[in-house]
């Protein structure tokens, strides 16, 4: 009888541990722009409005607000250190 009670207690502790884990990151990192109307989206510097459009298969996508893409680094990779493929270094 004690063994059965011990198994139930262990199972209960396992379920409680799983329930206490934080929610997955994608859910927590919801876009600040999601669900905004046109005026609010345009007023935000980090959001951009996407007009409705139709896919090649004919499905209509409603207009929506989204987060602007992150800007890539403006630094170009250094190519002066590498000789071109046709030259030999001496």
Contact between 83 and 89 (Cβ < 8 Å): yes
Nearest Cα to Cα of residue 65 among 46, 80, 79, 83: 46
Q: How confident is the model at residue 6 (pLDDT cuts 50, 70, 90)?
A: confident
Contact between 51 and 41 (Cβ < 8 Å): no
Per-residue pLDDT at 86: 56
Q: What is the pLDDT of residues 8-48, one digit of tens each?
A: 777 777 766 666 655 544 444 578 999 999 999 999 999 99
Across the range 85-89, mean pLDDT stands at 55
Residue 80 has pLDDT above 90, yes or no: no
């Amino acid at each position: 009888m004690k063994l059965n009670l011990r198994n139930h207690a262990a199972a209960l502790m396992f379920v409680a541990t799983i329930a206490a884990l934080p929610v997955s990151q994608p859910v927590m990192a919801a876009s600040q722009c999601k669900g905004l109307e046109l005026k609010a989206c345009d007023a935000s510097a980090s959001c951009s409005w996407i007009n409705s459009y139709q896919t090649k298969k004919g499905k209509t996508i409603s207009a929506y607000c989204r987060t602007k893409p992150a800007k890539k680094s403006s630094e170009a990779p250094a190519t002066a250190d590498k000789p071109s493929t046709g030259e030999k270094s001496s």
